[in-house]
Amino acid sequence: MLTLTGLRKTFNPGTVNEVRALQGVDLTIEDGSFVIVLGMNGSGKSTLLNAVAGTFIVDTGRIELAGHDVTRWPEHRRAKLIGRVFQNPFSGTAPNMSIAENFALAARRGQSRGLGFALSKDLMAPLRDRVASLKMGLEDRLDNAIGSLSGGQRQALTLLMATWLKPELLLLDEHTAALDPKSGDQVITLSEEVIGRDKLTTLMVTHSMQQAVSLGDRLLMMHRGRVIHDFSGSAKKRLRPEDLIDLFDEIRRRELLDESAATMLQSLYV
Amino acid sequence: MEITTEKTADLLIARLRGRLDSTWCPAVRDALAGYVKAGEHRIQLDMGAVDYISSTGLRVLLATFKQLKAVNGRFSISPASPAVTDTLSLAGMDMLLAPAPVAAPSISPVNASAGAPALAPAAPVGQPFSTSGLRGELFTLPAGPALAVRLVEPVPTAGSLAFPAGTFGLGVGALGVTVDDCEGRRGEFIAAGGCAAYQPTDGANRPDFTVSEGALIPQARLLSGLTGTGDFTRLLRFDAPPEARTVSLTALAAAVLHIAGTGSAAFVAVTETAGLVGAALRRDPTLPDTGGAGGRFAFPEIRDWLSFTGERSFRDTTTLLVGVVARPGAAGALAPQLRPLSPAADAPVGHVHALIVPYRPLQKGYMELAPMVSALFDGAPPQALLHLLGDPRGLSGAGESDFNRGAVWLAPFTP
Ligand SMILES: Nc1ncnc2c1ncn2[C@@H]1O[C@H](COP(=O)(O)OP(=O)(O)O)[C@@H](O)[C@H]1O
Ligand SMILES: [Mg+2]
């Protein structure tokens, strides 16, 4: 379970570049819940995931994951509990190392055993099977440098690595946005499969309305550093892409209500 | 495929040449829909030079036929090529193949069934009407009880109000009988013709509504607003004048006051809408303030309380309007509920609510209010409910609502 209480983060406080990126986020995410996070650019989606992952320490608030208060834990310590996949296929892996070595690093996460063990056949056999199941023909290229693969192949592998140790929490930040539609679909199918099979607690940021309605059991809409809509259960199931477009329209209208519109409404609305 | 049109006295003739297959269906569908939106309810389709029609094509023709039949319009195919005649006959769609157009039914035909020559009362006959902002046809309605308009007393414990045909209302409230029915969800409210709707503020994204049916009559509790009882005295069917493309809300209100011949008037209108500017509550106004020194109308707290269209919205929809309007200074006791409709010093003041439903063409000529209003609730449900505003902020503002055409029932009242 992930519990966020009163999370706030301001970047560059007290300067002209001050950004109040998180303005009080309270959220409880049950074990096994697959949560979609939507919001306009700059609404704080990535900042929320980064706050949980420990990219920075929040200004105020509390983060509890799997019974630990991780609020002050550094990023590498949280990494033992958290798997991540970013938008950029070139982050999260070491491009010059082979597929097998990258997996070994992932498998070593949180364990004291060395790289030698990781590259042993204890790891290699299941790894080969799993990579074969991607049907990308990569099982015969485990010794190739990961940097030589296409974006879609890398994202698929990164996802496998991120979930290899069944993390307490999986964070996906627009992990298919940089891919061509076909590779994107493949990675989405794989994500669904892995998340469903291991019942992974997941936070997934996406820009795709279609993904947002068809995936997950809960949907959060963020705006200006806050969660402004939270749909779960049948309310989530009922959502159609048009409903989400309506919600975005509503947000846009909210932004159009500026100070001069407020003055006008004060005098004209009854 | 070529599409050309020709306008005769009471018909639009559209000529198709080529194949009406799936490649061309969208173009023909859009063309036909465009004619209907432009107010052409009598269309003759010349398919003499169409040598193939697919079933997608048949569907396009049938949809237009049904749409125009529903508004006492007419859609027929004449002449038809042998290929078109065969296909339509095989599909059981002979009714589209009319031999020749008949004259427009300007009034509904009198029903004289055999043996019982009971005469239905003749529908009123309209007179041409025009002002600077609109033109149309004005009907005088049978005399009934005079119209009375009241302010809703701001008493939270006041009972519920019934809205049968012959009443109207607008303001802030909720459908329901008990306080519990309404608590936490009061929002923009509208009632006319025995139908009532409100935009709940409890997270529902569509208006809720009740339509009179047998003994069922809409009941609502209002926090503020205006209610009226009595009969409307005039019906105006209006269109944009040739020099303008649309009729603004201010022009409509001015025409209503002009026809009423007094300082204050109420109206119900059903319109084909070009665009709407308005606001709607987001939160039940009885809920406590969300904080902030300036109260709920201060910026930015106002964003939690009110949603504002910000620009002309709901283009090409159909709208039910309920409004109370007055000349500046003539609002009397109702003044607290009325605001200028536009910045001009002599512009009427008013309070107008609008219920938005998906576009449907309106039948031409004389219409009864209650059946017309309840027909708006058939089919696809209402999309939104707005308190209309004229945004006076010049170029940076959203301007005001405007309409392509419509029907407005109106009457004067003494405030
Ligand atoms: N490291 C940072 N330094 C300064 N500003 C940042 C930083 N990270 C994010 N921001 C700002 O915080 C706001 C929220 O950003 P982000 O969470 O990336 O939005 P989203 O992922 O929803 O598009 C934006 O205005 C962004 O510019
Ligand atoms: Mg109002």
Same domain, B79 and B132: no
| Residue recorded with tokens 């006051």 | B257
Candidates B307, B337, B339; nearest CB to A268: B339
Question: Is ligand 1 within 6 A of the CB of residue A39?
Answer: yes
A250, pLDDT greater than 90: no
- Asked if the Cβ–Cβ distance from B299 to A262 is below 8 Å, we say yes
Q: Is pLDDT above 70 for A36?
A: yes
User: Range of A104's domain?
Assistant: 2-239
Q: What is the mean pLDDT of residues B139-161?
A: 86
Residues B384, B270 share a domain: yes
Among all ligands shown, which has an atom nearest to the Cα of B285? 2
Q: Residue B307 domain-assigned?
A: yes
Report CA(B313)–ligand 2 centroid distance (Å).
18
How many Å from the N-terminal Cα to the C-terminal Cα in chain A?
A: 46
Residue B408, domain CATH: 3.30.1330.80
How many domains does the structure of chain B reveal? 2
- Residue B210, SS3 per DSSP: strand
What's the token pair of residue A177? 């946005």
Q: Is the pLDDT of residue B103 over 50?
A: no
Query: How would you classify the pairing of strands B167-175 and B187-192?
Result: antiparallel
| Structure tokens that stand for A74 in this block | 């550094």
Residue B243: pLDDT band by 50, 70, 90 thresholds?
Answer: confident
Q: Is the peptide bond before B300 cis (omega within 30 degrees of 0)?
A: yes
Range of the domain at B299: 127-146+226-412
Could you tell me if residue A41 is inside a domain?
Answer: yes
Residue window 297-316, chain B: list those with CB within 8 Å of chain A.
Answer: 297-300, 302-303, 306-311
Does B117 map to a domain? Answer: no
Is residue B281 located within the same domain as residue B345?
Answer: yes
Contacting residues of B for A219, CB less than 8 Å apart: none
Measured in Å, residue A70 CA sits from the centre of ligand 1 at: 22
pLDDT higher than 50, residue B107: no
Q: Which residues of A have a CB under 8 Å from any CB of B?
A: 243, 246, 250, 252-254, 256-270
Q: Distances from the Cα of B412 to the Cαs of A234, B138, B226, B260, B388, in angstroms?
A: 49, 15, 15, 5, 21
pLDDT digits (tens, 9 = 90+) for B161-190: 999 999 999 999 999 888 888 889 999 999
- Please say whether the beta carbons of B373 and A240 come within 8 A: no
Q: Ligand 1: which of A8, A10, A19, A50 to mutate, most ligand atoms within 8 Å of CB?
A: A19
* pLDDT averaged over every residue in chain B: 89
| pLDDT at B223 (0 to 100) | 93
Q: pLDDT tens, A77-96?
A: 999 999 999 888 777 778 88
> CA dist B124 to B137, B145, B239, B368, B373, Å?
11, 18, 19, 11, 19
pLDDT confidence band for B7 (50 / 70 / 90) = very high
Smallest Cα distance from A224 to chain B, Å: 13
In a domain, A267, yes or no: no
> Considering only A163-177, B140-154, B205-219, which range has the smallest mean pLDDT?
B205-219
Give A-chain residues touching B351 at CB under 8 angstroms.
Answer: 270
A264 in a structural domain: no
Distance of CA B40 to the CA centre of its chain: 17
Mind listing the pLDDT tens digit for each residue in A95-142? 888 888 888 887 776 554 455 555 667 778 888 888 998 888 898 888
Q: What is the CATH number of the domain that holds A148?
A: 3.40.50.300
Tell whether B200 is covered by a domain: no
Are residue B141 and residue B63 in the same domain, yes or no?
no
In a domain, A153, yes or no: yes
Q: Cβ separation of A243 and B309 shorter than 8 Å?
A: no
Whether B18 and B140 share a structural domain? no
Across the interface, of A254, A267, A269, the residue whose CB is closest to B303 is A254
Arithmetic mean of pLDDT, B297-321: 92
- pTM given for the model: 0.75
Does the beta-carbon distance from B308 to A257 stay under 8 Å? yes
| Beta carbons of B351 and A264 less than 8 Å apart | no
Same domain, B25 and B141: no
pLDDT tens across B43-73, in order? 999 999 998 888 778 888 998 998 898 898 9
Q: Which residue of chain B has the CA closest to A246?
A: B205
Query: Using the beta-carbon criterion (under 8 Å), do B297 and A262 form an inter-chain contact?
Result: yes
**Is residue B352's pLDDT more than 90?**
yes
pLDDT of residue B116: 44
Q: Contacts of residue A250 in chain B, CB cutoff 8 Å?
A: 307
Q: Which residue from B397, B91, B181, B138 is spatially nearest to A258, judged by alpha carbons?
A: B397
CA of A231 to the centre of ligand 1 (A): 24
Pair type for strands B74-80 and B12-20: unpaired
Query: Which pLDDT does position B202 carry in this prediction?
Result: 85
For ligand 1, the distance from its centroid to the CA atom of residue B241, given in whole angstroms, is 52
Q: Is A50 touching ligand 1 by the criterion CB < 6 Å?
A: no
Tell how strand A169-173 and strand A202-205 pair up.
parallel
User: Helix, strand or coil for residue B79?
Assistant: strand
Considering every ligand atom, which ligand is closest to the CA of A48?
Answer: 1
Contacts of residue B389, Cβ cutoff 8 Å, sequence gap at least 6: A264, A265, A268, A269, B277, B278, B279, B308, B339, B400
Please check whether residue A10 lies inside any domain of the structure: yes
Average pLDDT, chain A: 91
Strands lying side by side in the sheet with A2-11: A19-29, A2-11, A60-65, A68-69
Amino acid A117: pLDDT: 52
Query: Is A108 among the domain residues?
Result: yes
Instruction: Assign residue B49 a region (left: φ > 0; alpha: ψ between -120 and 50; beta: otherwise).
Output: alpha
Say how many Å lie between the CA of residue B315 and the centre of ligand 1: 35
What value does the mean pLDDT take over residues B336-345? 94
B253 and B390 in a single domain? The answer is yes
Q: Are residues B39 and B141 in the same domain?
A: no
For the Cβ of A167 lying below 6 angstroms from any atom of ligand 1, the answer is no
In this structure, the answer to whether residues B92 and B233 fall within a common structural domain is no
Does ligand 1 have an atom closer than 6 angstroms to the CB of A41? yes
Question: Is residue B256 predicted with pLDDT exceeding 50?
Answer: yes
Domain tally for chain A?
1
Q: Which candidate, A41, A45, A40, places its Cα nearest to that of A250?
A: A40
